[in-house]
Chains A and B, each alone.
Chain A
Amino acid sequence: MGAIFRRELKAYFTSPIAYIYIAAFYLYIGNYFVNYNMAYGSTDMTYVFSNAFVIMMILLPLLTMRLFTEEKKYRTDQCLLTAPVSLGGIVFGKFLAATCVFLCGMLIYIPFIIVLYGYAGTLEWATIIGTMLALVLLGASFVSIGVFVSSLTESQVVAAIFSFGIIMFFYMIDILASSVSNETVSSIMSALGFYSRYSEFSTGIFDVGSILFFASTIFVFNFLTVRVLEKRRWAD
């Protein structure tokens, strides 16, 4: 696992991918910080945080799209799958590497928070820490979805679009839930919604259930990826 994690992380940073991702993320988030917090002298970081949700939805599928598609395309998976490494190790190594790049993007919040703290002297720590935690969990879930989808196809474009689609589905599911008449289905659907889980944290509420929800999302998609790799050995 360690070897794969290190290789993937290095591959992100020797190619322009990680830099472009981080730059795009910084630019987008920085824009909100400057135009809301700096321009209005506000310590309310809601916009800066909630807009990260949108940019992550778009950028993270691009970050994860190559993880397994390229292995399959260039047949390098033959080297991984015939080495004495477990499938779980392979999947988790890749997942961790992409998550690390994502976390590098999240680091931009630290200077923002320091700047705001410097000006205002006091911040709503519960909300800030809660939202940060939610974003990290959310990002990791998006990454696990991306890793899963990339194991299904050989085409990076298909992987990116398809993982965007799945993420979009989970984003919109609580909106859809309100239009479903059956109450059980509706409640199940709204329980799966990423956005409602996220907004709970952003009000400063630590809900163990939501933490478990994200943790299990990550687990389920990584597990499914392992199953896909396993199945491919038996396939056709």
Chain B
Amino acid sequence: MIEVKNLTKQYGQKKAVDNLSFTVEDGEILGFLGPNGAGKSTTMNILTGYISSTSGQALINGVDILENPMKAKKDIGYLPEIPPLYLDMTVKEYLNFIYDLKKCKLPRKAHLADVCDLVKITDVYDRIIRNLSKGYKQRVGLAQALIGNPPILILDEPTVGLDPKQIIEIRSLIKKLGKKHTVILSSHILSEIQAVCDHVIIINRGKIAANDTTENLTANISTDRRIIARIDGNREEILKVIKAIPGVITAVADMEREPGIFDYEIEVKEGTDIRRELFKRVKDRNWVMLGLKSMEMSLEDIFLKITMGDNVNISVKNGETDGASAENEETFEEKAAEADAKAAEYDEKAAEADAKAEEYDKLAEKAEETEEKEGEE
């Protein structure tokens, strides 16, 4: 069990971690979510005793990491953001070193073989770490954390640098480990947290922005309160018809997806399902329904919403989704503008290239002419 009480870490004027308090129960997988520089790694470094907190307390199985670091550290396996590997050692030498360093009591050969098997590095066991790929290095780092079977695992972005197949493997491995160990896992990949963790803490600017179970956090906001319909027909009339359906709060024509065909974004009252009614009315008018889907708010949206707003004040239960979608639109527009600018640049370059090509042609012609003249002479 990990208890964190009013943890603060100050770097000069800046508070990297600001009055953080949370508890992780035994056998729980906690996801630490936050943008870069939010204080995830700092918190983890404090929990593992790598750095000290300015104030506050971190208890590892009831032992204060500052007061009795030797005892507390014994219970922790830590994979830092950059795996702490000695590049000039072989995997075998390295893991043996870690085994000695942690004063591990388990039978050496069998335990190391188990760990290697678990993270699938048996085939590179005798290779020098320097020559391993990023994915393998990451897994050796994970193996290092697992040595000694510590009851608590703290993993800082464990899937960074892995290919999609490995990511899935490591995620299922972490899930498996979560049955026997208490795990804290940090990530900025939300689907990862959603897939692996029981409990999520969203952290932003050193403060906890949300602290709930993964289920609650997603369930509360992903109600079908927004649907998107793509309908072929007259825009004004369609909007009028949609707005006439009971339960509809607003309807707007979104982007023109195909010539003359728009996506309509419809917001409805909670607990109402207008999809059947909508379909019927569209059919009655002889329009064609080309698509219909409900827009769910993913953790991604929550994350953006929480971490981008200055007032970190979430009312997840009310599901105010406007903010997130507006932001999405904004970013789309920005991106579109960027793309336009780039296109213009390319055009210019193309024109330049054309001009140069012409010049070259002229030069070539001249050269030919002179050659001919020489030939005549």
**A residues bordering B, Cβ < 8 Å?**
2-4, 6-7, 10-11, 14-15, 74-86, 233-234, 236
Contacting residues, chain B, for A79 (C-beta < 8 A): 78, 80, 84, 98, 101, 144
Question: A80-B101, A84-B70 in contact; A75/B51 too (CB < 8 A)?
Answer: no
CB pairs A–B below 8 angstroms (9 shown): A2-B100, A78-B84, A79-B78, A79-B144, A80-B84, A82-B73, A83-B98, A85-B70, A234-B51
Contacting residues, chain A, for B89 (C-beta < 8 A): 7, 11, 14
- CB closest residue in chain B, given A85: B101
Does B85 contact A83, Cβ atoms closer than 8 Å?
no
Does B82 contact A84, Cβ atoms closer than 8 Å?
no
Contacting residues, chain B, for A84 (C-beta < 8 A): 69-71, 73-74, 102-103
Contacting residues, chain A, for B144 (C-beta < 8 A): 79
Question: A7-B97, A75-B80 in contact; A81/B86 too (CB < 8 A)?
Answer: no
Does B101 contact A233, Cβ atoms closer than 8 Å?
no
A77 to B78, CA, bound (A): 12
B87 contacts the other chain (CB 8 A): yes
- CB closest residue in chain B, given A10: B93
B107 contacts the other chain (CB 8 A): no
Least distance between B2 CB and chain A CB atoms (Å): 14
A79 to B88, CA, bound (A): 15
- CB closest residue in chain B, given A4: B101
B375 contacts the other chain (CB 8 A): no
Q: Which of B12, B48, B93, B100 contacts A82 (CB 8 A)?
A: B48
Does B88 contact A14, Cβ atoms closer than 8 Å?
yes
CB-CB contacts below 8 Å: B142-161 with A? 144
Least distance between A29 CB and chain B CB atoms (Å): 29
Contacting residues, chain A, for B78 (C-beta < 8 A): 78-79, 82
A80 to B85, CA, bound (A): 11
Contacting residues, chain A, for B11 (C-beta < 8 A): 236
Q: Interface of chain A, helix or strand or loop or mixed?
A: helix
Least distance between A148 CB and chain B CB atoms (Å): 21
**B residues bordering A, Cβ < 8 Å?**
11-12, 45, 48-52, 69-71, 73-74, 76, 78, 80, 82, 84-89, 93, 97-98, 100-103, 144
A164 to B70, CA, bound (A): 35
A72 to B373, CA, bound (A): 72
- CB closest residue in chain A, given B78: A82
Question: A2-B100, A82-B50 in contact; A75/B76 too (CB < 8 A)?
Answer: no
A14 to B97, CA, bound (A): 15
Q: Which of A2, A11, A233 contacts B51 (CB 8 A)?
A: A233
Does A6 contact B80, Cβ atoms closer than 8 Å?
no
Least distance between A83 CB and chain B CB atoms (Å): 5
A11 to B86, CA, bound (A): 10
Contacting residues, chain B, for A7 (C-beta < 8 A): 86, 89, 97
Question: A6-B100, A84-B103, A236-B12 in contact; A77/B84 too (CB < 8 A)?
Answer: yes
Does B84 contact A74, Cβ atoms closer than 8 Å?
yes
Interface-centre pick from A2, A10, A82, A233 (highest chain B CB count, 10 A):
A82
A86 to B74, CA, bound (A): 12
Contacting residues, chain B, for A236 (C-beta < 8 A): 11-12
Contacting residues, chain B, for A82 (C-beta < 8 A): 48-50, 73, 76, 78, 80
Contacting residues, chain B, for A85 (C-beta < 8 A): 70, 101
A74 to B81, CA, bound (A): 12
A125 to B97, CA, bound (A): 42
Given A76-B85, A82-B73, 11 further pairs, Cβ under 8 A: A6-B100, A7-B89, A11-B88, A77-B84, A82-B78, A82-B80, A83-B101, A84-B73, A84-B74, A84-B103, A233-B52
A86 to B71, CA, bound (A): 11
A2 to B101, CA, bound (A): 8
A233 to B49, CA, bound (A): 8
Interface-centre pick from A15, A84, A86 (highest chain B CB count, 10 A):
A84
Does A75 contact B49, Cβ atoms closer than 8 Å?
no
Interface-centre pick from A11, A76, A77 (highest chain B CB count, 10 A):
A76
A81 to B78, CA, bound (A): 11
- CB closest residue in chain B, given A14: B88
A165 to B50, CA, bound (A): 31
Question: A82-B48, A82-B50, A84-B103 in contact; A74/B97 too (CB < 8 A)?
Answer: no
Question: A74-B87, A76-B85 in contact; A3/B97 too (CB < 8 A)?
Answer: yes
Q: Which of A2, A75, A80, A234 contacts B82 (CB 8 A)?
A: A75
Interface-centre pick from B48, B73, B86, B88 (highest chain A CB count, 10 A):
B86
Does B101 contact A81, Cβ atoms closer than 8 Å?
no
Q: Which of B73, B80, B86 contacts A83 (CB 8 A)?
A: B73
